[in-house]
Structure formats: structure tokens, C-alpha cells
Amino acid sequence: MEMDEKKHYKMYKSKSVWVFACLSTCLIVSFFNDGQNVSAATSASSTQISQTNTGSQPNNETTGETAQSSVNSTATASSSSVADLPSSSDSKTSIGSTISQPAVGKKETSKSDTADNDLTKSVTTSDSDKALSTSKTTLPTSNEQVQSSVGQSQTDQLASSATIASNAVTSDVSQNDQYNEPYRNQYHYSSSQNWINDPNGLFYDSKTGLYNLYYQYNPEGNQWGNMSWGHAVSKDLINWTQEDVAIPMLQNQGWEDFTYTNTTGSLKDKGEVRYVGVPTTNWGDADGKKAIFSGSIVVDTNNVSGLGKDAILAFYTADYQIATRKNDGAEDGWGTWIGLTEIQEQHLAYSLDGGKTFIQYSKDGNAANPQAIIPTSMNQGGDAANFRDPSVVYDAVNKQYYLTVVSGQQALIYKSSNLLDWTYASKIERENDVGNGVWECPSLVPMKVAGTNETKWVFCISVQQGAHATGSGMQYYVGNMTADGTWVPESSKTLQNPMTMDSGEDFYAGIPFSNMPDGRTVMLAWQSNWSYVDEAKTSPWSGNMTLPRELSLKKNADTTDGYLLTNTVVKEIANNEEANVINKAESNFTVSRSDEQVQYEGKQYKISATFSWDEADKPKSVGFKLRVSDDQKYDMIVGYDLTTGLLYVQRLNTGEPNMGAPRDKMNATVNADGSITITVYVDETSIEAFANDGEKSITQNFFMRPENIGDQATTGVYVYSNDGTTKISDLTINPITSIWNSTGQLTEKFVDENGNTIASDKIQTGRVGQSYTSESATIPGYVFVKENTDHINSNQLYTTQNQTITYTYRASQASVVTKDTTMVAGPSATWNAVDNFVEATGAEGNALTLSDLTVNGAVDPKAPGTYTVTYSYTDATGNKISKKATVTVIASKADIVTKDTTMVAGASTIWTAADNFVEAKNADGNALTVSDLMINGTVDSKTPGTYTVTYSYTDPAGNKISKEAIVTVNASKADIVTKDTTMVAGPSATWNAADNLVIATDAKGNALAMSNLTVTGTVDLKTQGTYTVTYTYTDVAGNKISKEATVTVLTEKETNIEDNTGSSISNDRENPPASITGKGGDDIHQNAKTTMTKKKTETLPQAGNHVNELAIVLGQMILAICVGGILWLKRRVKRF
């Protein structure tokens, strides 16, 4: 079934979906029914070429097939005529390159050139239809890719993006342990295999301590093509480890359709151009790929992009070809076919895993088919095919980022505050006609002027053709940046007089490392030249990097604007340098009009010397002859021409063919005032020469091939003085070991302060440039004092020269002192480790606290026993000091002894706790006083009763001892019984106190003697009367007992009258009255005349008749008690 493919596509584009579906179904069925496929159609239509050339019009169905065949055939036919040497966009050497594969892809900038009118005409019709055929066969794939990405965020697509990168694995250094193939440089980085060129995205990662090197890389061969970002990392900028491909080519990119008006380049006369179709990278079939060209990296430490803190942002150029037409509406609206032309646009990818893999950024979130951050429409350079190599830098003064890209012979500057959205700011244009090659790999570098606080912005650029030496090279210009993003040259002469970065042929595309930890400006370049890159003929790799260079901007009156950019090899190269092989005695000598051989042979080394001369015998030139062959016919010369004032590298004697002019321009002007110091780094195929500490440099490749020079060694070293006498001083040669498989050794020694070994040496080995860990060891009994080093690397990396660290120690002064203790067990007893701790010192004699020690062992302060506690301390050397302490827990000896007492209640009775206290002892058995005890209980000494008093004592261990004492307070039994008496006064009458005392008892009821009583009162035995005598007794308790007795003194007459009887009168005399006062025991006698009158017939009582009277009294008392008892019982009966 025949179909009009143009109408088929138009219906799809106009969204006539139902028509498109029907026609697609018919077309597919037709293909199957006819048994045809694309490849068959292509092969079958090969005969259509002649028809196209003769102007015959093929039918629509075979147009695409013919185009395919035409492209393939033309590419094949023209490949032999395409120049190996890339040209500028204005060059005419690439006639017919519209459809041919370039030899040097990225650098071929005129792939769409249509200068060959005949060839263009021969393919116009077929190419036009070919574009339609391409879109027909690839659109479904593109649609499927787009459909699969719809609705996905960039995060969702991380896995797929990362997978692509991880699958593109390159050979690691460890997988190729030889690295000794012919012409392989040994201390310049190259990939284990495949092609490399421009360094890209150089940066230091502060998190990992790694320098990251990305570069243009072909993962599929050692020729230019399939451009991706290769990756290597290093700890020291010298020894690199190859990683997997970081950013592979973009795959399965979708259909594009946009317009642009080129004002320069091969399409400048085409007006508005339409770019439409599926991208390709092979100048033929639409493969849906975009190549990853050069760029730079920014570490987004402040997350201004929002892509993640410390995200690694890679800015790069995506390069591809696409069907191109005039946007004139011809050919059913498609526009007049022009051919496949090149597109370059700026993209962004970012990494969240330290730069190992990258996620494509796209504003629409479609990481699988990312949009450009600076598309062709923003290209202010006017050439869609030349718009590349973004370099991003931060302006700390103006708080903004600059992205610089090149387009032809100008640099375009864009600015941004968030690294995502960019606006055009300004451009830098070349003002002189130096070379005909485009600018590439730009960089704006802010640099402090040495010795000042002045900052300048150095604009560095690579010139593809027409550089100082031959072909490619680098230039720089000094200027300043303004807030609006404009780079302003230092003077009107700046752009007219470019300064040369390196005066050799092989220093190109150099860019600086970003995020450097120490503020240095370090640049790395590709060591090759687009003019003869294919002459290297190395396998399985192609290309290597220069040594990293530290740049310094210095004031210099001999330069255009008074500033000179010096460059020296970074100091880290010392990691791979062996010791100087020239002894001091042979480092200073004189050479006169001759070459003098140095006693060293090798291919990888650094050589340096100062050459000086006298004007009286001034030589024409001085320098080194290096890599001299055994027959002395072949060499590389690095010298200084005193006549011209040029430092130069001469490679004409390497045996390489076609080494004549103009390949002899590797020179640099040096103002040598009587002397010059030349330093050269020599590798298998590399020379990097420096004059006067980097004032000028020359980098040069060379190849001494056996097929040209024969099978002989090229390891000789000479110094020379041409036609004069030269003083050579400070000659040094340091062999440099390979970065691929060299190992270093670290020896750690352990000695005391007298240098005596106290522990065995420790030896570590590892790959040069890799990290090691070293620290003072723990040596029992010793403490670390200091360390001494020999050839030590401050970054703790293995180096070629063996390193030694000597750790010095002194004997440990650690000690622990404890004491034994005894304590009393008890509920309140406590024990702490500090109780048995006396002191401790550390290894250096410093005082320690208990918290610095470890205490083992337990003490039960409540249970008597013997306990052992261990105090330990381990000093910084690992020396363990232990001391034991014994804790003896004993039972308490506390005790209290009391006694019971009895006392008589009374006002004078006093009781104290001491009355019942016998003795007491504390926990240790020592005597206590009653004041040490707690007394509970009271005694009322005035009130009879039984009282309990508790004596308590709690010892420090909490043991409580209690004892009781009974205090009995009895009522007093003190009493006095008296009687009344009557007596007859008379001179012979006598009376004493005992006459009236019946009985008296003390407090305890014991009988008292008369002498214990106090008797008061008077009895006048001569005078009739009644006398009262008082008997008083106060017992020990203060109870006072008083009783009275009445003594009646009668006259004798009264006695007779009363009795009516006579009474015998003992005496006729009259008794005198008496007064009686005194103790009852006093004998008081009075003589009285007693007249007794008997009233009754009875005998009057006489003084002294006490017993009968007492019996009467007692009888009366008993009678009274009985009567009282009866009365009391009666009352009790009534109650019940």
C-alpha cells in the first residue's frame, strides 16, 4: 500500500489522531504484506542514487530509503577526503561534511557547510524525504520515551538516570595493572583505555577529601566519539584512580522543533532556520542521542539551586545533529531542506552521591528527556553550531554566578543567582586576528595579586588553531568584573595583546579546580594538540592530562598590563619524587663549550639546575639534553638562548618525521640577568619545562619510536654550554615513580627518651597517594611524649620515599594509693569508694581524682565481715595500676546498763536520769556518759507511783540500744504518835518530851528515836495549866510530820477537890513553873509541888505510864477503822 509520508506526518502534527491511527495501521499491514523492512528497502533502493543525480523524481515511498542509502554511500565516499585536521567554522576544507562523519567530532564546527553545491543538489530531494523517513521510524520510540516520563519527578527518575551511568563502566586502574604499554606516560593521568581529551568539572570534595577530575571520554574506543564524562579521583592531584563514567551520552531523546536565525557560521545566509526531528550524533540515522561536551562543576554548598545542600552541579554542552530547513513554508510547510547541522545547548546535571552518578535536570521534571537551561534560543553568539563549554564561577563581591560559554571567537557571559535561571549579561570578543580557530573552554578566574589585597579577574581561553606554538594553545587576559556581569579588560591593549598561558604545543583546554580547600588556583589541561592528535598512535588509550599547575598572578613590568600569570607544578608531585640522586659534591660544576653527561639514566624524573655565566665568556645557549639515545643522535633539548632571550624546547631530534618548521616554535621570552633556573619534568612522552619558578612554561609531547631511531635506549642526561663557559649550580635529579602501581612504606618506631626501642617497629605499605593512618601506640608502662618525622606527608598519604615516624615515650608515673578501714555494721552504715582512696597520679605525674579510677568490689556495711576493694587506673599508655584496700565491717559494741530504784515521794525528793544509769558503751566499746544517751520517760518524785524510764543510744552505724529502769516512788511512812498527860505540879514533879511520845517512824516506817524529832513547847511544872508540846519530824523526802501533845499541870488542891479523895502529896513543897523547849531526847526535869485531888476513886495517871496509854490509843484507832468500814459497806449496799 503506497502512502504519502509527508501527509501522514502532517496529520500527526495537526492532531488528526484518528486519521493517523488508521493510516499507521494500513502502513504497518502493507509493510508486512510486502515482506519488506527498513534494511531491505535500503539495500533494494541503492540503485536510486543515479536517478537522483540525474534529476529524476522518485516516488514518495522510496524517497526515505534512497536518502538512507545516499547518506551512507556519501559518508563512505567522502570519508577519505575529509581532513584529519579540524578546521574553524569558516574553513572550506570540510566540503561535503554535511553528511560525513568528522575525524575530530567536537572540534569540527562546520558539519552543515554547504559549499559543495553539486553534492548538496545531489542529495537535496533524498535528504528532504530522508528526514521524514527518519521521523517515521523513530517517532514511536521517542513517544514511548516521553510517555514513560510523563508525571515523573526528577527524583523519581534518579534510579533510571543512575542506572545508565553505572552501566557504562570503564576499566579501573586496578583492572589494568600493567600501565606499561609503549608510550604510556607514568605520572600523567590517562584512562586505562579509550580516548580522552578536555578536562571537565574539576573540583575538590571537602566531604570525601577527594579531588575529582572529569574529562571528555569515549567509552567505546580510542578515537574521538561518543562523548561522555569520564571520571577519576585523587587524594593528592597526582595519583588518580579511574571511576565509572559519570555522565553518559543522553539516550532516547525526543522529537524537537524550534527555529533560530544564525548571524554567523555556515547558516548565516539562510535566514530563520527550522530545526526539526529526532537528535542524532552520527550525522546519519536519528539515534536519539546527544553527546556530553565540556563544562564545569559547582558545589552548591548553600543549596541556592534547591537541588540539595552540597549538591554537585555539572554544567555541560549537549551536542547533536538535527534535520535543518529554511523556515520558508516550502515543501508543504516543512521548509526548504538544508541538511543535517549541529546544535549545541547548555544543560545541567546534578549529583547527590559525591559525583559518582548524575541526575539530569529539567525544568519540566523530565530527567529522561531534559530541557536545556540555556537553549539555542538564548544563544547570543549567532551560531547554533558553536555555543559550548560552560564555565561557572561565583562572584563573592556581587553575590552572583557567571556562566561563560564560547561562540566562535567570542565569549558570552550569563548571570544567575540560583544556578538554574540564567540571563545574558555581556560578551568578550577577540580584537586581533591571532589564528583562525574558534575559542574553546573559557574560564573567568578571580585571583589575588601576589603580595596585595587586589583581586583581578583573569579570562583564560583555549584557541583551537593559530596559537603561539603550533595549532592549539591557551591565552589569558587580565581584567575586572562589574556588578552587571561585564568583564572589563585592564586596558585598551589587553585584548590586542593576549598573554600565552604555556608556550608549548601541548597545553590545551585548561580549566581551574573549584572549591579548593586552601585557596590555591590549580589548573589542569589536556596534553595534546588538535593539529596532530592522531599522530600519537597509542593503544589501548589515547590522550593524557598535564601535571596540575598552581597559578599565581604577579606584578611584572614586562607584560602588557603589568601582570604575569606564573604556573608551577603543584607541590604534591613530591609524593612521587624519589630522593635526589645527585650528591652535593657533584651538583656544582662548570661546563665550557661542550656537553657533559650527568651520571644518571632514566625516563621519568624531575631535573633542575641554575645556569649562570660571565659576560666575558658568555655562551650562546645553555641547558639540558634529555632522553639522549645511546648513539647520541636523538634527544629532547630544553635550553635558553642568550642571543634571543628565549626559553625553548627542541623536539627536532626525536626521530619523528616531518619535524621541520613550523614545528620549532616552542619558546618563551625570559629576561635572564646573568642566570636562569630551568626545571623540567620528563615522562615517557612528555616534557614540561619551567623557567625561574614558573615565570614561563613549555609543555611538549614527543615520541621516540624504535621504527625511527632503532632499538636503543633513550635515557641519557646531559648539560651543555654552547660557545662559552657556564656555571652549573644546584643540579638535582629526582626520579618520579609511576602513579599506576607504585607503593610507599611507612615505618613507625617507638623509643624512650634515651632512644632505646621499647616496642617493635610497625610497617605499613600502600599505593602512593593513598591515605594511611598513624598514631602513637599504647605501650604499657610508658606515656607518649612527641613524634619526629622523616619525609613525612602532612596529609598522611603514602609517598615514593619511605616515611618514618618516631614516637618518643617516657616511663609512666601512674600510681594508686589506698588505705584499709574498719567500720561498724548497722542499718545506717554507708561505705563509699572514697573512704579507702588516698591519692592517684596519671602517667605524667598529674593528680587524678577517684572518678578517673575504676573501682571493683562491694562492701555490705550492714553485715559484719571482711571485704576487699580494688582500685585500678589504666594510663594513656595502657599501663594498668591496681591497688587493693580491705574494709573490715564489725558488729557494734554499743551497750547500756541501768538499775531500778525506789524513792520516797516528797517535796524535797529529786530524781535525775543518772540515778538509774549504771554504764553505757559506744559501738567501739568506749564508755559513754548519760548525756550521750536519749532518755525517754518522766518521774514525778512528789507523787507515789511506779515510773519507767528508757535509756537509748544509736551508734553511728544506726544500731539502736535501749534499756529500761523502774523508778518506784513510795509515799512516806513517816509518823508521830503522841499522848496527852496530866501531872501534879510540885517541886519534885518532872517532865520530859518522851513522856508524851508514843511512837515515831521515818519515811520507811522505821522507828525513830526521840533524838530524831524536834520538840517545841513549854510545860511549867510549878504552875497549873495546860501546856501544848509539838513533836516535829521532816523525813528525807521533805515531808514534815507534826503532832501535839497536851500536858495538863494540876495543883494538888485541885486534885483533891475533884476526886473527893485525898491524894498523897509527895512533897509539901510547891513546884516552880517550867518552860520546855527542845528535842524530845533532851532530859527536861522540873520539881513541882503537886496537889492531887481525887474526884473519883481512881489513880491519876502519872507521867511515864506510856504503855497502857498507847494500847488505849491503838484500841481507839482500831475501833474507828471498824466503824468506818461498816459505814462504807452500807453505802456500797445502797448503790446496788
Grouping H, G, I as helix, E, B as strand and the rest as coil, residue 433 is: coil
Average pLDDT of 100-120? 37
**Residue 361: how many CB atoms within 10 A of its CB?**
23
Q: Boundaries of CATH 2.60.40.10 in the chain?
A: 820-890, 975-1104
Higher-pLDDT residue of 372 and 665 is 372
488-509 per-position pLDDT tens digit: 999 999 999 999 999 999 999 9
1010: phi then psi, degrees, rounded to nearest 5: -55, -30
CATH number of 820-890: 2.60.40.10
- Its sign, for the CA torsion 914, 918, 922, 926, is positive
H/E segment holding residue 337: strand 337-351
Domain covering 975-1104, topology:
Immunoglobulin-like (2.60.40)
Q: What is the pLDDT of residue 434?
A: 57
- Its sign, for the CA torsion 36, 38, 42, 45, is positive
Q: Please identify which residue in the block is written with the cell numbers 639540558.
A: 624
901: which 3 cell numbers?
530504784
1081: which 3 cell numbers?
531526847
pLDDT band at residue 671, thresholds of 50, 70 and 90?
Answer: confident
Q: Is 1076 a residue whose pLDDT tops 50?
A: no
pLDDT band at residue 262, thresholds of 50, 70 and 90?
Answer: very high
422-452 per-position pLDDT tens digit: 999 999 998 876 556 799 999 999 999 999 9
Q: How far is the C-alpha of 194 from the C-alpha of 1060, rounded, in Å?
A: 180
Q: Is 870 a residue whose pLDDT tops 60?
A: yes
- Kindly give, in sequence order, each residue whose CB lies less than 8 Å from that of residue 972, ignoring residues fewer than 6 positions away: 904, 905, 906, 1003, 1035, 1037, 1039
Q: How far is the C-alpha of 340 from the C-alpha of 385, rounded, in Å?
A: 11
pLDDT band at residue 472, thresholds of 50, 70 and 90?
Answer: very high
H/E segment holding residue 984: strand 981-984
Q: What is the pLDDT of residue 101?
A: 37
**Residue 295: how many CB atoms within 10 A of its CB?**
31
Higher-pLDDT residue of 593 and 1061 is 593
154-200 per-position pLDDT tens digit: 444 443 343 333 333 344 444 445 699 999 999 999 999 999 999 99
When mean pLDDT is compared across 79-93, 670-684, 765-779, the lowest value belongs to: 79-93
Q: Is 114 a residue whose pLDDT tops 80?
A: no
pLDDT band at residue 467, thresholds of 50, 70 and 90?
Answer: confident
Q: Boundaries of CATH 3.10.20.320 in the chain?
A: 743-811
Average pLDDT of 1070-1085? 44
Determine contact, residues 126/133, Cβ cutoff 8 Å.
no
CATH 3.10.20.320, domain 743-811, yes or no: yes
Q: How far is the C-alpha of 284 from the C-alpha of 287, rounded, in Å?
A: 8
Average pLDDT of the chain to the nearest whole number: 82
Q: How far is the C-alpha of 169 from the C-alpha of 177, rounded, in Å?
A: 17
Average pLDDT of 521-548? 95
In sequence order, the β-bridge partners of residue 202 are: none
* Greatest Cα-to-Cα distance within the chain, rounded to the nearest angstrom: 214
Average pLDDT of 137-161? 37
Measured CA to CA in angstroms, residue 556 lies from 461, 523, 562, 644, 782 at distances of 21, 21, 5, 20, 57
pLDDT > 90 fraction of the chain, expressed in percent and rounded: 68
909: phi then psi, degrees, rounded to nearest 5: -75, 130
Q: What is the pLDDT of residue 30?
A: 45
pTM listed for this prediction:
0.66
| Among candidate residues 995, 1081, 1003, 997, the one with its CA nearest the CA of residue 1035 | 1003
Domain 577-734 CATH superfamily:
Exo-inulinase; domain 1 (2.60.120.560)
pLDDT band at residue 470, thresholds of 50, 70 and 90?
Answer: confident
Average pLDDT of 798-817? 93
1036-1054 per-position pLDDT tens digit: 889 999 999 999 999 876 6
396: phi then psi, degrees, rounded to nearest 5: -70, -25
- For the 896-966 domain, the top CATH level (class) is mainly beta
Determine contact, residues 89/386, Cβ cutoff 8 Å.
yes
Give me the helix-helix angle, 117-149 and 60-79, nearest 10°. 110
Average pLDDT of 955-968? 95
Q: Is 936 a residue whose pLDDT tops 90?
A: yes
Q: What is the pLDDT of residue 899?
A: 96
pLDDT band at residue 1131, thresholds of 50, 70 and 90?
Answer: low
Would you give the distance in Å from CA 974 to the centre of its chain? 100
When mean pLDDT is compared across 483-487, 732-736, 955-959, the lowest value belongs to: 955-959
Measured CA to CA in angstroms, residue 675 lies from 4, 607, 696 at distances of 81, 17, 15
Q: To 5 degrees, how large is the angle CA 110–CA 258–CA 366?
A: 105
- Its sign, for the CA torsion 125, 127, 132, 133, is positive
Q: How far is the C-alpha of 233 from the C-alpha of 217, rounded, in Å?
A: 15
349: which 3 cell numbers?
546535571
In sequence order, the β-bridge partners of residue 732 are: 608
